[in-house]
Amino acid sequence: MQHTFKADKPCRLSTFLRQNGVSRSLMCALKQTECGITVNGAPAHTDYMLAAGDIAAINEPSEHDYDITPSPLPAVPVIYEDSELIVFDKPPLMPTHQSMGHNDDTLANFYAHYTNGSVFRCLNRLDRDTSGCCLVALSRYGVSAVSGTVSKTYYAVCEGEMPPQGVIDLPIRRCDDSIIKRECAPDGQQARTLYKTLAVGRGYSLCEITLETGRTHQIRVHFSSVGHPLAGDDMYGGSRGDISRQALHCGRISFITPADGKRVTVRSPIPQDMRRIDEELFAGTGDI
């Protein structure tokens, strides 16, 4: 896959490529590839001094992942696609990656089918039960170029009545007796969750959530730690009386696409199993 960039003023090639989203690690890898980096069609060292009007290019070799079996089913809706990025609307109860017992029913399997075996570069891995926007880059350049520009908005239904808004700032670590479960503890990694309560009713709250850090199970652990576990999240104290999975959905993702340098915002409506917990919670919230 080739990516080209036109210089508008004199500049060192390495600096110019970094300004255009090429990470140092990708640059190092391309140096080991024949014609991995070129200027005006000719191989060039990253110390090369570009002139205004020069065309620099990086040429990524084709990569395929033959360990993932392509599978057309279950099909996953594509809600955004350009030459560098795809956003899938992952349904609940679908794993993102393959694992024991899930060899052909994951988002990775469908992606392999959709792209004829391209390497799966998922940028916001969602838990199996969590639904919504899942961003995947089509190349190593796509990964490096979009890095640092992505913001996500989650929606959760939690038990009890949450304050109108707030910040949960509690460190998180892995529980000593589990490889999966997390807990808040003073010796954990810093974790910070911001929320706004959109509606309250019938023993539940609908919250809009953004993350300043990205720890494993962060939203689930933080809400449980303040006494408001997510509905359906029995790992962290929630009841499955009204929903059979944690009521968590990535409803919005925003990023600057390398394709044209513009900010894109993609939305996924909250699925029906979350809405059925209490339809009144969602009255007047528009199409979230």
Tell me the residue range of the domain where 160 lies.
151-250
User: Catalytic one among 127, 129, 242, 273?
Assistant: 127
> Mean pLDDT in runs of 10 for the chain (288 residues)?
94 96 94 93 95 96 88 94 97 93 92 95 94 97 95 98 98 95 97 97 96 96 98 97 97 95 96 93 81
Angle at 250 between CA 224 and CA 99, to 5 degrees: 80
Q: Last residue of a domain, which of 59, 74, 104? A: 59
Residue 39: give its domain's CATH number. 3.10.290
Give residue 66's pLDDT: 83
Give residue 22's pLDDT: 95
Residue 97 lies in a domain: no
Residue 277 lies in a domain: no
Residue 141 lies in a domain: no
How deeply is 112 buried, as exposed, middle or buried, from its count of CB atoms within 10 A (0-12, 13-18, 19+)?
buried
Residue 160 lies in a domain: yes
Residue 239: give its domain's CATH number. 3.30.2350.10
Give residue 262's pLDDT: 95
> Annotated catalytic, 47?
no
What's the CA gap between 26 and 30, in Å, rounded? 6
**Residues 128 and 94: beta-carbon distance below 8 Å:** yes
Residue 198 lies in a domain: yes
Peptide bond into 271 cis (omega under 30): no
Q: How many domains does the chain have?
A: 2
Give residue 101's pLDDT: 84
Residue 178 lies in a domain: yes
Give residue 61's pLDDT: 87
Q: Which ranges of 174-236 does DSSP label H, i.e. alpha helix?
A: 218-225
Between the alpha carbon of residue 138 and those of residues 97, 122, 279, 285, the distances in Å are 16, 9, 38, 34
Give residue 100's pLDDT: 83
Residue 118 lies in a domain: no
Residue 49 lies in a domain: yes
Give residue 267's pLDDT: 97
Nearest Cα neighbor of 135 from 92, 72, 90 is 90
Residue recorded with tokens 């916001």: 124
Distance between terminal CA atoms of the chain? 36
pTM of the complete model: 0.92
Give residue 213's pLDDT: 95
Q: Last residue of a domain, which of 14, 43, 59? A: 59
| H or E segment to which residue 162 belongs | none
